[in-house]
Structure formats: C-alpha cells, structure tokens
Structure 1
C-alpha cells in the first residue's frame, strides 16, 4: 500500500534521511540513478506491483498501482521512470498478448528484481510506429532503436520490430527476449542522449546487426505488434500520468513551505492574494487530474472495450495540466525555483523531469490523433443520448474485477458513457447553482461537438487532420474530465469530496480548455481550497482525492 512505501522511504524533507531530497538532488547533479533508493525499492519488492496477482504479484487494480507509484514519483521522477515505469511499460504488452509461458517467465523475472526495457522508439519516425525500420526478418534483428530507457542495464527487452516489408498495420510484431540469449557481438549500445531532465535515467539506444533471437520470442500473433501496442498504451497513458501527479504534490508542498516561511511587505507570502490564487488553482488542477485518471483507470476494469477514448485523452489533459501548474508555481518561488541547492532545490529538478510526460510514444498530439477518427461514430451512436456509466467507476476504493487484458479494444466502436454525466446532473434537485451552471456548460459543449464531429469527412480525420479537426477531441477531453469530476463528487460518501467546492473549482479550471472561461477561481473558492490544503499540509496528508497519510 502507499502508506507502507511512504514509511519505508521516510520523510524526504528530513536532512537526516539518506533517501531525502538533498541526496536525490545530489544524485541528479552527478547524473546518476539514486542507487540507495533503488536498493530500498528492491527491499519493498516494487516489481511485484507490476505483476498481476494471478502470477504472484500485487497488481490488482490500475488505480491502486498508480497511487503506490506516486510515493516514488513525488520524491524522484528518475526513480519513477528508471526503476518502475520502464518495466511497467514493457510488461503490459506481455500481459495483453503474451502466451501463458511468456507471462509466467516474465513474472518470475520481475519478481526477481530484474529490469525490463521497452525497445520501441526510433527518432526518425517518432510516434509513427507503422514506419518503424528495425527489422526481425527470419528472426534476426537488424537496425536501431533510440532514446530507450534502461536499454543497457535491463535484463530483458520487449522489442517492436518490422516483420514484413509491406506497408500497413500488420507489418510489425513484438518480441520478448532475454539479453543472455543474444550474442553480445551482434548488439551494441549507443551513448546516452543528453537531456534537460531525467538526468539520472539511462536514455540510450541499441543497434542490432544480424542478431538471432529465439524462435519462441514473438509476443502474440505475427503482424499484431501495432494492435498490441495500441491496446497496451491504454494502460500506460492512464497509469503514468496518474503516477506523475505525485510530482505536483511535491511542487505544491515546496511552494507552501516557501510561502508560509517567507515574509513580504510585512506579511507571510502565503497571505498575498496573487500567491494564494496560484496555489489554490494548482490544488484544483491536481484534484481534477486525479479524478480523470482514477475514473479512466477504473473504466479499464469495468468497461475495457470503451476505454480507448478516455485513456488517450487523459494523457492529453493531465500532462499539460501538471506542467502548467508547476510552471505557475515556479513564479511563486521566484529565483528559488531554479536554484540547485538549498531547502527548495528539489523544485527545479521536478520541473525539468516533468517534461518527460510530454514526449515519447504518448505525445499529446498523438493522443488526439488516436481519438479523432472515432469522433464521427461517437457523435452518431452515443453523444445524442448516451447511457449512464456504472457507478463503480466513480466509487473510490470499492472492489473492481481483475483487469481483463484480452478485452481491451483498439476502438470503442462509437460507444461512450462517460460524456453523459454533465447532462444527467441537470436532473438533480437541490444542486449548487454554480455547479448546475457549469454542468450545463459542459453538456452544451457536448451538443456542439456532436454537430461538428458529425460533419467531419473521412479525409479530415487522418494524419493530415487540420488544427480545427484536432480541436474536437481536445474539447472532448475537457468534457470527459469534467464528467469524471462530477461523477466522483456525486458518489462521494462525505468529507471534502462531498463538498461542491472542489468540483466547482475543477470545472472552472476546465472552462479555459473549451474557451468558455479563463479558468481563474473566485476568492471564496480560493479561501476554501487554501484552508483544506494547509490542513492537509499540517497533518502530513496527500493532496490528491484520497488524502492519505504521507511521510513529511
């Protein structure tokens, strides 16, 4: 559980903690992975979090996994990516399409603390996987992959490679190989690619030259590599942004420590209205991000065939919302946000590391491009009168069935239930007037999208889509995020989550995404959010939806 890992890693602000922020920043300055923390994660058995329960691990639900990993990401994103997420990204392909034998062997490797690298990226083609050139003709690898996390220090590789020279979506396959089974003279490692952030992570590459791989290495059916990747991306595009919410938690905590301990113009910096507004808005951003991530994660369990749309759009919304919030918080810290030593030095490292969620296989525009072709059918089949989603996807902490990897679908086939929530809120009696107004605004937005998406021609939804066409899934993302927030609030059982304050604030922030507001919070909302934030800070509780106990 997150609390157990928090206790094991200790208070990161404690200068006597050998795993604290001072040592994390020092490792970053040396451009090294934080070895002592990796050893502590081995002791915790972190890799078990990526192995489904049926194979001997602790991976029960996607939302639980994300919350556990937030304890790592809120301390050091390099650990979050280089220790955990890289193995998780590789693993979901095996759980989604691997044979029983491959899954069993893979689970044993992870449970033995072995590292697995996902060997996907080619700089020449970026997100265009259909053009990837690394080939595995005749079960022999030829070509190169670049900007691969842990390529050199991983024990096993999940490799995406071309298995047919023909164009199209059935020309690539995936392979699971143990590096011990590869002739070492047929593979070479590229130097680390310089990067602004994630300086401790090994972001290198690998070159294969007529390198034979075992006959049983292929994951799934031949030519299904892209399909497997697109199904697996639904898990990574949901879980990784949810994990990375921990970065904004620390960003907020750093800003609070700075502003409550600093006096400007005769009063605490935290009492200045401009400062309070920025901090409160960042808190609202964190809550809306958590709601969207958590509801999408739970949707993958309950409605796996419908999850392709929210799973792509959650990455689009959350990545930019987190980056923007951290950038605004940097203005609160002033010159302290870029100083690389002292009490607040962790902030500059987090700000640089956070950029990782904006690139790679899940670049934001790629997420929109994944959803755009689905919008005309959604407009026809679901949006005019969508059925309501199941209550369970909003009820935090309630039981979920195991993740049905084999039921994940590349397309939702025009089915969507989440977008129906704002319209259904209008039937509620006694609803807070401002909440009713905001729900009506997002219900109207969906009606407008229904008309606009319905008018799209097939040629307007492909790779040459215009900015105007891509704006349709971008606006849909805001509607789905608002729906997630409304659903969580509606099903809350009391406490802060049952208070309309946070959901009004979250939806107010989202109005800027659809051009129907500036996203700024009025003073009464700011006061209520600041009160909750400061109380949690004093009580050492997290700033996310669950407000669990943390170390420091």
Structure 2
C-alpha cells in the first residue's frame, strides 16, 4: 500500500458523485464534521499502519514515504490529513522515541486496530512555550496525580489514549517536565472532564478538544521515558514531525494551483480566457515554482533524518520557510480566482477550503517565530566553524529516488549540530567555474549571500541569539533558511541530471533569490521566457492529470477539472 493505492481508493476528486470527492469534502466542512466516508476508507486502508514501525507490525520505515502518503490525503482533505492522520502520528512518535517495550507494543496494537492517540501538549496560556507549561503530574502513593488543563488538542475527546506533557518538577529549565502515556479508560470520571470543543475557521472538521484534570490518578507505569526528559523527548520526536509537515503542505497547494489553473483556462473575458493575461500566467508560473521549491527542500530534509540525524536545524528551517512560501503562494493564487477564491460553493469552492485549512497547518506544532528562535543560537558557531570551510553533504542526500536506511529515532540529536553539510554543498556548487548561464549566476549569487551571512552571523552578540533578539537578527535566520533551500534545490537538480526541467530550476531559484532582495539575477526577458515555460508546463500537468510536484505522478480522473 502506498500513495498511488490511496489515490486510487479516493477516486476522482472532481466527480460530484464520488462520496470521497471534493463535493462531499465541502459538505462535511460546512457541517464542521470529519468526512465519515473518508475515515471509513482510511480504516480499510489501515492508515495507522503507516505510523507504526515495521518491527511492531506497521509499515513505517521511511519518512519520505509517509510524507507522500499523507500528501495524497491532504491534497483531498486536510481535515482528514490532520484529524485522522498526523494527529496520531505526532503522538506516537514520542512513544517510539521514549517509551519502553511494553508501551510501544500497546501503542502499536491500538493503532493497528484503527484506534487514535492524541498528543496533549498544548495549554492556551503558554502555547508552544513548553518550558513554562503548568499542567502538573505529582507522585503520590505509588501513582501519579494529574492537575490542570489541556486545550486545543486534536481528537482529545475521540482518542483511545493520550500522550500528556506535564510538569513534574519545580526547577527552572528543561528537566522539569515529563511525558505520560495514558489510556482513556484509565482516567477515572471523577478526576477528569471534557470541556466544550473549540471551533475554528480553518480545519473546521477537526475535533479540537480540551480536558480539565483535578488530582486525577494514573498508573505509575504511565511515565514515558525517564522523569524530567519530557522536553528532550519532544524535541527529538519533533524533528520527525516538523520535517514531514512541510512536505505534506505540497498537497493542499497542488489542489489550489489546479483549481486556479482550471479557472484561468476556463474563464472567458476580454475576448479570450483569463490564462491569456500575462499577469495571470505569471502568477500561475510562480506558484508552480514555489511548489517545486517546497518539494525539493522538504525532500532533502526528510532524507537528512535518515542520513544526517545529528543536524537538528533543518527541520525548523524547513517548517519556517515552506510555511511562508505556501501562504504567499495561496495569496497570489487568490488574485487569479478573484471572487471565486472566496465562494464556498461552485466548481472552485475547494480553493477557499484549502486556503483556510493551510493557515493553521503552517503554524501548528510550532510557530514560524518559534522556528527562528530554535535556529538563532547556532548561527554564530556555524558561521565561524562550518560555513565556507565545512565539507559538502553526501550526494545520496539529494538523490530523491535513492534508497534510505530505516529511520532510527534514537539517533536523532537535540544538541549543537557538528556541521552544516547543506552550506558546504552550496559553497561547492557556487565555487564551480561559471559558464555564464542563469544557473551559474544564481549559484554565484547564493554563494555571495552566504559569505555576507557568515560575516554578519559571526559577529552576533549574545543578546541576539535569544528570544529577545533584535528584528535584524531574526532576519539573518530567515536568510539562512532561504540559503538552505537554495542549496537543496541546486543539488537535487544536479543529482537528477535531465530528470527535472531547466526552466523549473531557474524559476525556483529566481523565486528563492527574490526572498533575499537585491538586484535581480535574471534579465526581464529571461524571466518572461522562464515564466512562459513554467506556465506551459503547469498547464500540461493539469491537462494530463499529473501532480505538480517532482514525481509528476498521474492522479485519478479523465481530463482536467471543471
């Protein structure tokens, strides 16, 4: 079972009679409900097996495979993707990384029987500031007593088990919190009560729940890992989930781009169709390039989980930058659809749902500012010791069709990265002899940016590598994420040979360079030519019913949508 099989089971999304098509997805969204037929299909597909390591009876071995399967689901309905898919995965990764053998086996059995596990980390008063979370667990009479509230937790009311993050010590620092795995049946009614569901403008079908605990007893063996290791366990697990999330966002963007392109090809005005207007063609071309940028960057980060597990910065960098790219692309595509981009009915109504659903997906789990805060402390050291003098990453990191060893969460680290292979790769490619072509000019441009970034980051004062950093310091972290993406894109195309198009490469590099500001690398004529080719390629993908990502895989249905 894989992404193609799931696509076949979901069927043609534009078929109004398909109970799993966009019409049914939109109807469920209007009711603020999960698509029941979709959940039933995912039960039959045993989606949860994708979250369980093979040694415990599941199908999880490669992060990129899981991302492709989840991307397929999110392309159809992000509510199913989060509410059925990633929510249980986010919770279970903590069990695979920190749980004992019995806890892992119990979690695997629950998931393989189509059960749900919720990740109850969030508290409204503290958001993603887990170091100050107040929900507490206290030892008493050979068991733990839970007190406090957990809020805005996906599937909390529907879950069969919960991974809880709780304060177990009063000292300030990262050793004051722990994680617990608790079966819902082990929570006595007198100690816990469900609070009203939170309603949201995006992900309207997802059940966002809350619970209030009052001296609620749980078994002593509920502790996940060692006491006080909750933060470290979470950071290790989050490397996996924060690497997968950026790759998944390609799904909703694919659907949005397909809807906008279909509209541009169908909409008649000014004696032709909207797609004849240069501005419309440019927006479509740029959104297509943005999607490819997210795909290439996130694919490299996913492979790094397997091949470079000591580099913890790439996950928050990808989460930050791909979120920005996706949101910007959605906003630009909305300008093509005009009023149709807001309507909740009609042939293009799926666009507004995808636009609403992608917004919370880009900040959930960690905000973009939070990602930069994770990156900042490491920039001075990397600038002085790694950039422009470190070795490039191994070539296998960029071979997206290459084999990977099974993912081993125990190898993931949360400390200072010892190297930065992507910046080494950027230095190596940028230092090659230039042939004067557009790609060579872009490589030189990015290398020059790396030199400038090195000088600025090496001199950052201590106050500018903390949460209290000046805006200019955050801007340096932003530029770093763009250079990571540029290095990934250059190396992926370099490894692929003629597999991916030259116009696509130039378009992606142009979009990334635009995020750095400064003088354009392309002439006006070069950009117009590149965007014409990108629009033509995107239109052909749409007509051929192929994905816009680097796989260009065919999807169900005959001809293009509406």
TM-score range, shorter chain: over 0.9
Q: Secondary structure at the match of 2:247?
A: helix
Aligned residue in 1 for 2:131: 130
2-side partners of 1:64 and 1:456: how far apart? 39
Question: SS in structure 2 opposite 1:212?
Answer: strand
Residue 382 in structure 1 maps to residue 383 in structure 2: no
- Partners in 1 of 2:473 and 2:182 — Cα distance? 41
Does residue 222 of structure 2 align to residue 221 of structure 1? no
Q: 1:257 to 1:304 in 2, by over 3 A?
A: same
Q: Distance in 1 between matches of 2:390 and 2:426?
A: 11
Match of residue 511 from structure 2: 509
Q: CA deviation at 1:457?
A: 2.2
- The counterpart of 1:532, out of the listed 537, 544, 552, is 537
Could you say which residue in structure 1 is the equivalent of 2:107?
A: 106
**3-state SS in 2 of match to 1:145:** strand
Q: Which residue of 1 aligns with 2:554?
A: 549
**Aligned residue for 1:276?**
281
**Counterparts of 2:104 and 2:304 in 1: how far apart (Å)?**
24
Are residues 453 and 430 of structure 1, via their aligned partners in 2, closer, same or farther at CA, if it must alter by over 3 Å?
closer
Is 1:285 matched with 2:290? yes
User: 1:57, 1:182 → 2: CA distance?
Assistant: 27
| Deviation >6 Å, runs of 4+ | 518-521
Matched, 1:471 2:475: yes
Give the drift of 1:259: 1.1
CA contact (8 A) 2:388 2:427 kept: no
Maintained 8 Å contact 1:31/1:199: yes
User: What does 1:311-390 align with in structure 2 at a 5 Å threshold?
Assistant: 311-390=315-394
Q: Show CA shifts across 1:52-78 (max 9, x none).
A: 122211112111111111111011111
What is the CA distance between 1:87 and its match in structure 2?
A: 0.6
**1:324-375: CA deviation from partner (whole Å, max 9, x where unpaired):** 1011111101111111111111111111111112333310000000010011
C-alpha distance in structure 1 between counterparts of 2:426 and 2:171, whole Å: 46
Q: 1:428 to 1:340 in 2, by over 3 A?
A: same
Farther-moved stretch of structure 1 (120-129 vs 414-423)? 414-423
Paired residue for 2:34?
Answer: 33
Distance 1:122 1:47 in 2: 26
Aligned equivalents of 1:318, 1:283: Cα separation in 2: 14
Pairing partner for 1:421 from 396, 405, 425: 425
Match of 1:60 in 2: 61
Deviations 1:152-180 (A, max 9, x none): 00111011000001111100001111111
Most deviating of 282-291 and 504-513 = 504-513
- Aligned partner of 1:171 in structure 2 is 176
Q: Could you say what secondary structure the match of 2:197 adopts? A: coil
Which residue is equivalent to 2:305?
300
8 Å contact kept, 1:422–1:440: no
Larger deviation, residues 480-489 vs 426-435: 426-435
2:254 maps to 1:254: no
Aligned to 1:157: 162
Distance 1:201 1:151 in 2: 11
Structure 2 residue matching 1:361: 3-state secondary structure: coil
Cα shift readout 1:435-464 (whole Å, capped 9, x = no counterpart): 111111111111112111111122221121
**Preserved contact between residue 163 and residue 182 of structure 2 (Cα < 8 Å):** yes
Distance 1:16 1:223 in 2: 53
Hey, what's the Cα distance between the residues in 2 that align with 1:221 and 1:274?
57
Does residue 401 of the first structure (1) align with residue 408 of the second (2)?
Answer: no
Matched residue, 1:9: 10
How far off is 1:487 after superposition?
0.9
Which position in structure 1 is the counterpart of 2:560?
none
C-alpha distance 333-427 of structure 1, shift in aligned 2 (>3 A): same
1:42-57 map, 5 Å = 42-57=43-58
The equivalences for 1:180-199 within 5 A come to: 180-199=185-204
**3-state DSSP of counterpart to 2:150:** strand
Give the SS at the match of 1:136.
strand
CA distance in 2, matches of 1:25, 1:517: 44
Instruction: State the match for 2:210 in structure 1.
Output: 205
Following the alignment from structure 1 to structure 2, what is the Cα–Cα distance between the partners of residues 324 and 242? 16
> For the residues of structure 2 that align with 1:226 and 1:458, how far apart are their CA atoms?
23
* Separation in structure 1 between the aligned mates of residue 520 and residue 234 of structure 2, nearest angstrom: 37
In structure 1, C-alpha distance between the alignment counterparts of 2:186 and 2:39, rounded to whole Å: 26
Write the distance in 2 (CA, Å) between the matches of 1:375 and 1:417: 14
Q: CA deviation at 1:427?
A: 4.6
2:465 corresponds to: 461
What is the deviation of 1:208?
Answer: 0.8
Q: Is the 8 A contact 1:284 1:502 kept in 2?
A: yes
CA distance in 2 between counterparts of 1:493 and 1:433 reads 16
Q: Contact 1:121 / 1:360 at 8 angstroms: preserved in 2?
A: no
Does the CA contact (< 8 Å) of 2:146 and 2:213 recur in 1?
Answer: yes
Q: How far is 1:314 from its partner?
A: 0.1
Distance 2:435 2:127 in 1: 47
Using structure 2 for the length normalisation, give the TM-score.
0.95
TM-score of the aligned structures, taking structure 1 as reference length: 0.97
Residues 1:410 and 2:410 aligned together: no
> Residue in 1 aligned with 2:242?
237
Asked if structure 1 preserves the Cα contact closer than 8 Å seen for 2:236 and 2:412, the reply is yes
Figure out how many residues of one structure are paired with residues of the other and give that number: 549
Cα separation, partners in 2 of 1:450 and 1:140, compared to 1, 3 Å: same
RMSD: 1.5
Structure 2: stretches of 5+ with no match in the other structure: 558-562
